[in-house]
Structure 1
Amino acid sequence: MAVYVKSVDPKHLVEIGLEGFYGLSTPNRFQFNPNTYAQQVGTDFIRNHQVLGVDFASVHIYPDSWISQTISDVHIEFTKSWIQSHIEDAENSLGMPVVFAEFGVSAKDPGYNSTYRDTFLSNVYKILLNSTRKGGGGGGCLLWQLFPEGTDYMDDGYAVILSKSPSTSGIISLQSTRLTTFNSLCSWKCQWGCKKKHALETFLYHDEL
């Protein structure tokens, strides 16, 4: 399907949308999975992202769904190792950036408080910012989820309403400012030219070569 999408529209980036669980192709990475079930669900972070037509890797971060709903420091430690392992694999095994396309914590979790959410958020942002600073594989992260006022009825527990969450809003604003500063200094000589690009072009356009 990735190759087909590229044949229709070669100018847009394609990603899969995986949770990021390590599968059978990399049993040595099982240690980073949140539980033993993760390696049995049929997805494989490394192998799936080696498919022609996939431009960047994607991962989610939901320790309160994967480990336990009860908030604890274990969630933070898992998050740190989860992010770092995927950045390393994106750089060393895949040769492409990785975006943490969903991450968050539910206000419905036992033991939840805004201080914990801010700590969780800050740890994710810090690791991604450090990767950006050194030109690493951390391609960004997307908080699940920001809501405007008046849409609370759609909140699944993960919503952040900026006007009602000043401390969280400040963390998000600071991260955005920092990333804007770093990106403004970028020379646009991207080191993440996909190693599969030539193979894909050959596959799609071999009749024209």
Structure 2
Amino acid sequence: MAVYVKSLDAKHLVEIGLEGFYGPSAPARAQFNPNSYATQVGTDFIRNHQALGVDFASVHIYADSWISQTISDAHLQFTTSWMEAHIEDAEKYLGMPVIFSEFGVSAKDPGYNSSFRDALISTVYKTVLNSTKKGGSGAGSLLWQLFPDGMDSMDNGYAIVLAKSPSTSKLISLHSSRLAILNSMCSWKCNWGCRKKNALETILYHDL
């Protein structure tokens, strides 16, 4: 299907939309999966992304669904190791950028509080930025999910209404500004794997 899409539009970027679980092609990487069941669901992060026509890798992060719904620091530890493993593999085996295309934490989880949600978001943003500033494959992240006012009936627990979440809104704004500054240091011809300058590092990291 990726090749077919390319035959219609050669410039159309294609990705798969996987959770990111490791499979049979990389048994040593299964240690990074959140549980043993993840190896049995038919996805294989490395092998699937080697399919012809796929442009960038995608990964999800739902520690509260995969590990335990009860909020704990284990979620943050998993998030860091999960992201770093996929960034490394995108560089070493795939030669493509990786987007963490869904991540979040449900307000319905036992022990949930907004401070923990902010800590999780900060963990994701910091890991992406650590890769980006080195010219690595960590290319971005998509928070699941932002809601406008008045859509509360559709919230399954993951919704964030910026007007009601000032601390989270500030995190998102700050991260966007940092990425904009960092990307401005590259020319328009720069590819995802370029080596960015170390200038402005203090600005980017002074309060992480």
Instruction: Provide the residue aligned with 2:176 in structure 1.
Output: 176
Instruction: Provide the residue aligned with 2:167 in structure 1.
Output: 167
Distance 1:2 1:87 in 2: 22
Matches within 5 A, 1:105-144: 105-144=105-144
- Displacement after TM superposition at 1:191 (Å): 5.0
- Displacement after TM superposition at 1:186 (Å): 1.4
Instruction: Detail structure 1 runs of 4+ shifted over 2 Å in the superposition.
Output: none
SS in 2 for 1:146: coil
- The residue type equivalent to 2:50 in the other structure is Q
Matches within 5 A, 1:1-209: 1-187=1-187, 188-192=189-193
- The residue type equivalent to 1:98 in the other structure is V
Distance 1:192 1:72 in 2: 34
- The residue type equivalent to 2:191 in the other structure is C
Q: Percent of aligned positions with the same letter in both sequences?
A: 72
Write the deviation string for residues 133-171 of structure 1: whole angstroms up to 9, x where unpaired: 111000100000001111111111001100000111110
Q: Tell me the number of residue pairs that the alignment of Structure 1 and Structure 2 aligns.
A: 193
Bigger drift between 151-160 and 32-41 goes to 151-160
Q: Which protein has the bigger helix share? A: 1
- With the length of structure 2 as denominator, give the TM-score of the two structures: 0.91
Distance 2:180 2:159 in 1: 24
**Contact 2:144/2:159 (<8 A) preserved:** yes
SS in 2 for 1:102: strand
**Contact 2:16/2:54 (<8 A) preserved:** yes
Distance 1:131 1:191 in 2: 11
- Displacement after TM superposition at 1:109 (Å): 0.3
- The residue type equivalent to 1:79 in the other structure is T
Write the deviation string for residues 115-141 of structure 1: whole angstroms up to 9, x where unpaired: 000000000000101111111000100
Distance 1:153 1:43 in 2: 32
- Displacement after TM superposition at 1:45 (Å): 0.1
- With the length of structure 1 as denominator, give the TM-score of the two structures: 0.90
Q: CA RMSD in A?
A: 1.1
Point out which structure has higher relative CO (alpha carbons under 8 A, 6+ apart).
1
Distance 1:192 1:12 in 2: 20
- The residue type equivalent to 1:189 in the other structure is C
Distance 2:56 2:67 in 1: 26
- Displacement after TM superposition at 1:189 (Å): 2.1
Distance 2:192 2:41 in 1: 33
